[in-house]
Amino acid sequence: MNERQREYFRAKLLVWKDDILRESKLTLQVLQEENVNHSDLADRASSETDRAIELRARDRQRKLISKIDAALQRIEDNTYGYCEETGEPISLMRLEARPIATLSVEAQGRHEKREKVHWDK
């Protein structure tokens, strides 16, 4: 991967991370503003369910940020774009679709197949 490509993916990852952080801040603001006691039990239950779903989504995004940070570190280390399993380059098409990818399509397929076999037991 050349320097221009690394810069492209660095910028893409940073924009993605900024978007996630911005959404998280908005969610926190909304959750703080929504801290209303509902007199109706159904309204309260609905509000609590919505809140739990939103918090789970934010937790997934927190984990995604750590993967983005790891990808940014790989760019700095010049290991970005190489399969962790085989050491072979990950296709640019795969990185475009999933910039945090650490495995080539083939290695990911093998990984998922092993996971499925393990899960079925």
* Buried-exposed string 31-55: b where 16+ CB fall within 10 A, e elsewhere: eeeeeeeeeeeeeeeebeeeeeeee
Which residues, at least 6 apart from 1, have a Cβ–Cβ distance to it below 8 Å? 80, 81, 89
What was the pLDDT predicted at 37?
Answer: 63
Residue pLDDT, tens place only, 5-55: 999 999 999 999 999 999 888 877 776 666 666 667 777 677 778 778 877
78 vs 1, residue with greater confidence: 78
pLDDT at 64 (0 to 100): 94
Per-residue confidence (pLDDT) for residue 56, from 0 to 100:
84
State residue 3's pLDDT score. Answer: 95
Q: Of 1.10.150.130, 1.20.58.2050, 3.20.20.30, 1.20.120.910, which CATH number belongs to 1-80?
A: 1.20.120.910
Predicted confidence at residue 24, as pLDDT, reads 83
Domain boundaries, the chain: 1-80, 83-121
pLDDT at site 35: 60
| Average pLDDT over every residue of 57-84 | 94
To which residue do tokens 């939103």 refer? Answer: 54
Angle, CA of 53, 18 and 56, to the nearest 5°: 15
Q: Can you tell me the mean pLDDT for 80-99?
A: 96
